Amino acid sequence: MQKSKEVENHFKLLGLKVKDKVTGFEGVVSSLSFDLYGCVQVVIQPPMGSEGKKGSYPEGRWFDVNRLKILSKKPVMTLPNFEFGAQAEGGQGAADKPLP
């Protein structure tokens, strides 16, 4: 199955700094989901310490992509190759990726 341009644009959100237009919640897009009913959502991961506690690691939250304001043009880290089989062929896995 070939990806449409719109689907490719959704994948380009990964790693970008964004803000939810409704709540003001800010962070980096760390995950992307396409559900059976047509909704496209992302997890926004806020920065460490954003809950007011030094060294705290706050939980990410799910938001609809239509609510996002993009704050950066460049991802915070290099994105993996999502083509099928990349992991099996020696591609990077979660344990091989550097911390941001």
- Rg of the chain (C-alpha set): 15
Containing domain of residue 66, as a range?
Answer: 5-49+58-84
How confident is the model at residue 51, as a pLDDT?
64
Total domains, the chain: 1
How confident is the model at residue 39, as a pLDDT?
93
Task: Give a yes or no: residue 10 inside a domain.
Answer: yes
Distance set, CA 99 to CA 22, 95, 96 (Å): 30, 10, 9
Task: Give a yes or no: residue 97 inside a domain.
Answer: no
Task: Give a yes or no: residue 9 inside a domain.
Answer: yes
Mean pLDDT, residues 69-89 taken together: 78
How confident is the model at residue 6, as a pLDDT?
86
How confident is the model at residue 88, as a pLDDT?
47
pLDDT tens-digit readout, 17-68: 999 999 999 999 999 999 999 899 999 999 886 666 676 778 999 999 999 9
Q: Which domain CATH number covers 73?
A: 2.30.30
Task: Give a yes or no: residue 39 inside a domain.
Answer: yes
Find where tokens 């896995």 sit: 93
How confident is the model at residue 70, as a pLDDT?
97
Asked if 69 and 19 touch (Cβ cutoff 8 Å), the reply is yes
Task: Give a yes or no: residue 96 inside a domain.
Answer: no
- Identify which of 50, 39, 35, 40 has the alpha carbon closest to the alpha carbon of residue 14: 40
Task: Give a yes or no: residue 18 inside a domain.
Answer: yes
How confident is the model at residue 34, as a pLDDT?
94
Task: Give a yes or no: residue 90 inside a domain.
Answer: no
Asked if 80 and 9 touch (Cβ cutoff 8 Å), the reply is no
How confident is the model at residue 43, as a pLDDT?
97
Question: What residues contact residue 20 under an 8 Å CB cut-off, 6+ apart?
Answer: 26, 44, 63, 67, 68, 69
Task: Give a yes or no: residue 66 inside a domain.
Answer: yes
